Structure 1
């Protein structure tokens, strides 16, 4: 402890001796030759320095005692024993650093726990389609390809979900923002899920103008829209219902809406449907619910800068909306009318509010 104290104040001690020697030299050059006075001054200065260092050592004794022993836990280092302003500020800094450390540790623990829980749940659910296919292969009659294809689709959907969940932590490394035609994107996702619509006898109805263009990541948005469509079909138990997909533009922002005619979500469950692993009342009605689809959609929308909102009336259906902020939108007629003006502006931007235009809705009636 004393060795640490002397190392910390070595520069101060050397400076004091140099200062006293310098003052003595000035007196000597000025003609002052009294040796007794010089010795007396040197002794007094030394005693004052020793007294100062002693008082300082006593004040820092508990501080040195604490930092020189091996701590039993982190809280041991956060005890408030400082006396000087420097020690007090150092302890405040350590408190803040410790809180930051706790926050990061808790965040990492929550992420790890979420991954572990999701993997355990996912592995358990993937056993179901594998068991079904195994039973189908054991049957003597001709293999039902439609049943096998349905189970394969379930496996593929589960794999896509777990892969997206794994990539969520490194989202920024796997993101590519580009201009995407919204109608083409939605139509592609609907086509990929056509067997699901056919098997449940649910009919998609796309009402999106061809000119709707949004800035987003195409791969991540396909996953999000796929989750919405899967949920819409999964929780629509009656046949011959519709899933309506529409888009509208206002002040440059594009709003994508996906509305189903299913069982809806209860008012008590609605605020929690985007929480991880939350299944609610509807999740208990189907064994395929993981409680991760809307959670991942919410997280991805947040990282892409989009806004996700969900509204529902139990027994009537659910509407999921994604708001794309500050998107340039123009109809084909506006493109033709304003082509000369855009060329003069280097053709790089479209004005979303030209003539207060509204998007043209095309009802495709695709099934």
Structure 2
């Protein structure tokens, strides 16, 4: 701060030093003026000026030190009153700007909340005609038409479900309910939802549950499984080997694996597959990919202390692994 203060006041310092040098030069050139008394006057004035400079340094930098040390937020209460007119201008400007930003942030927050509520309400309203459509499709006698319509219905259903959970994700902690969840029944329910799609692609499932019970949130765990199973079906080749879903115990933790035999993931893409909006570099023209499913699954898993990992080789399929926390860790999620 001392160096910056001297740089800020360099014009005043140069002016003072120039005046002192001018006095000494005049006394040196004009023999009618005694040089000794002038040198003494210059010495006294320089000493007094240095004392004044030290006093002004502490007084003038106090306000700016507070600005430098304060937290980067809109709270200006930690800054004491300004001592000079210029400092008052700065303080008033910052106070007005902070108040303007608070009001603007509040308005935007209200608008975002309203937009979120409107979207959630719209999603719930759309689910009613979707349910009616499903009932009507079940009464169709043309199996080919029924299969095609059911597949398109399923795509809409999954997209709406993903959008619903995406809007709820920032407030997920308020929605968690940790309980004993049956992994087997939960997984079978998600597989059953995709039955029509699996039949269309000729893909089956091979399930093996060594561990059937975990301590978790059933709704959000279903959402994570839905993303992984949907991903496995989507990227498996028609009539490929069965998708494997299995659970086991590893080092006192429950591990659930979803293994497909699809096209796999390029090594350069693996570090990025959980990034928001990332699809693929090898299959960049795939317009059906949104890059949101795995991102949302990862976010939801982290909130429940579930470790989501992936292993893959191009052309050899992909393995997603969910490693659940120990019971005492899971209980702490909601502060139980």
- Asked if these proteins are the same fold (TM beyond 0.5), I'd say yes
Deviation at 1:325, TM superposition (A): 1.5
CA distance, structure 1, for counterparts of residue 186 and residue 174 of structure 2 = 22
CA distance in 2, matches of 1:283, 1:223: 25
Report the counterpart of residue 234 of structure 1 in structure 2: 234
Give 3-state SS (helix, strand or coil) of 1:301's partner.
Answer: helix
**Secondary structure of the corresponding residue to residue 206 of structure 1:** strand
How far apart, in 1, do the equivalents of 2:238 and 2:201 lie? 8
Q: Shift of residue 90 of structure 1?
A: 1.8
What residue is the counterpart of 2:146 in the other structure? 145
* Partner residue in 2 for 1:256: 256
Per-residue CA deviation, residues 66-123 of structure 1 (Å, 9 max, x unaligned), is: xxxxxxxxxxxxxxxx524xx4552233354479x99xx9xx99xx8xx99xx9xxxx
Contact 2:147 2:200 in 1 (8 A): no
1-structure distance, mates of 2:176, 2:57: 53
Contact kept, 8 Å, 1:178 with 1:217, in 2: the verdict is yes
Instruction: Name the residue aligned to 1:193.
Output: 194
Deviation per CA, 1:275-314, whole angstroms, max 9, x where unpaired? Answer: 0110013553533211000000110000011111011001
- By how many angstroms is 1:240 displaced? 3.6
| Residues 171 and 195 of structure 1: CA distance in aligned 2, closer, same or farther (over 3 Å) | same
1 or 2 for the larger relative contact order (CA 8 Å, sep ≥6)? Answer: 1
Distance between the aligned counterparts of 1:148 and 1:167, measured in 2?
29
The separation in 2 between residues aligned to 1:93 and 1:292, in whole angstroms, is 40
Aligned twin of 1:94: 70
Residue 314 of structure 1 aligns with which residue?
Answer: 314
Q: 1:233 to 1:59 in 2, by over 3 A?
A: same
Distance 1:315 1:285, change over 3 A: farther
Which structure 2 residues correspond to residues 348-359 of structure 1 after superposition, within 5 A? Answer: none
Whether the 8 Å contact between 2:180 and 2:213 is mirrored in structure 1 is yes
1:256 CA displacement: 0.6
Where does structure 1 differ by over 6 angstroms across 4 or more consecutive aligned residues? Answer: none
List runs of 5+ in structure 1 lacking aligned partners.
Answer: 1-54, 64-81, 120-129, 134-141, 329-367
CA distance in 1, matches of 2:315, 2:161: 30
Cα deviation, residue 176, structure 1: 1.1
Is 1:283–1:289's contact at 8 Å kept on the other side of the alignment?
Answer: no
Q: How many residues align?
A: 224
Shift, 1:247, TM fit: 1.1
Matched with 2:176 is 175
Higher mean alpha-carbon deviation, 291-300 vs 145-154, is at 145-154
Q: 2:309 is paired with a residue of what secondary structure? A: strand
Is contact 1:235–1:282 with CA below 8 Å preserved after alignment?
no
What residue in structure 2 maps to residue 266 of structure 1? 266
Secondary structure of the 1:281 match is coil
Q: Secondary structure at the match of 2:61?
A: coil
User: Which whole-Å CA distance do the structure 1 matches of 2:149 and 2:222 have between them?
Assistant: 24
- CA RMSD in angstroms, aligned pairs only: 3.7
What's the TM-score, normalizing by structure 2?
0.58
1:291 and 2:291 are equivalent in the alignment: yes
Residue in structure 1 matched with residue 301 of structure 2 by the alignment: 301
Unaligned stretches of 5+ residues in structure 2: 1-51, 76-97, 120-129, 134-141, 329-336
* SS, match of residue 242 in structure 2: strand
1:7-50 C-alpha deviation (Å, 9 max, x unpaired) = xxxxxxxxxxxxxxxxxxxxxxxxxxxxxxxxxxxxxxxxxxxx
